[in-house]
Amino acid sequence: MEDTTNEIINLGDKIELSGFKVISSGEMIIVRKIVGSQVRKFQEFIPDFERLSIHLKPVHKTEQHMKFELHANLIHAGKPTNTETTNRNLFMGLSELFSNFESMLNKK
């Protein structure tokens, strides 16, 4: 059987998601909306925004709980900015990633 958990999903030409096959289609709709709106915000305050890649890895999976490890790479002006987080709630994890990016990019 083929492992599709690392299959890449492209949302337009600036967003790449990998490892998201482990979540439900309902959760995926919400992820697309969250990521899409955040990328629009980044494009407004980072004029040289090029691309965002997010990789999802489920860790510590049990019958009742799962933690999500998220790794993100944002490229602007040809320079990568990376961040990562681990959270039990996928949506809170995404929020943490974007907050981390905002803090790092505001310091520059």
**Domain CATH code at residue 43:** 3.30.160.100
Which DSSP category does 48 fall into? T
pLDDT tens-place string over residues 19-51: 998 888 999 999 999 999 999 988 888 888 999
Q: Residue 108: its pLDDT value, please? A: 57
Sheet holding 49-59, edge to edge: 8-11, 15-18, 49-59, 67-76, 79-87
Q: Residue 22: its pLDDT value, please? A: 85
15 is in which domain, residue-wise? 8-107
Residue 107: pLDDT band with limits 50, 70, 90: low
* Token code pair at residue 7: 């299959």
* Token code pair at residue 24: 């439900």
Q: Is the pLDDT of residue 4 over 80?
A: no
Q: Residue 68: its pLDDT value, please? A: 92
Which DSSP category does 61 fall into? -
Q: Which of 29-38, 88-97, 99-108 has the lowest mean pLDDT?
A: 99-108
The answer to whether residue 51 sits within a structural domain is: yes
The answer to whether residue 92 sits within a structural domain is: yes
The answer to whether residue 3 sits within a structural domain is: no
Domain count, the chain: 1
The answer to whether residue 90 sits within a structural domain is: yes
The answer to whether residue 2 sits within a structural domain is: no
Specify the 3-state DSSP secondary structure of 32: helix
Crossing angle of helices 25-45 and 90-107, rounded to 10°: 10
The answer to whether residue 1 sits within a structural domain is: no
The answer to whether residue 63 sits within a structural domain is: yes
pLDDT tens-place string over residues 54-82: 999 988 776 667 889 999 999 998 999 99
Q: Using a CB cutoff of 8 Å and minimum separation of 24, what contacts does 35-44 make? A: 35/11, 35/94, 36/11, 38/94, 38/98, 39/14, 39/15, 42/74, 42/101, 43/14
> Using CA of residue 70, residue 75, residue 76, residue 80, what is the dihedral sign?
positive
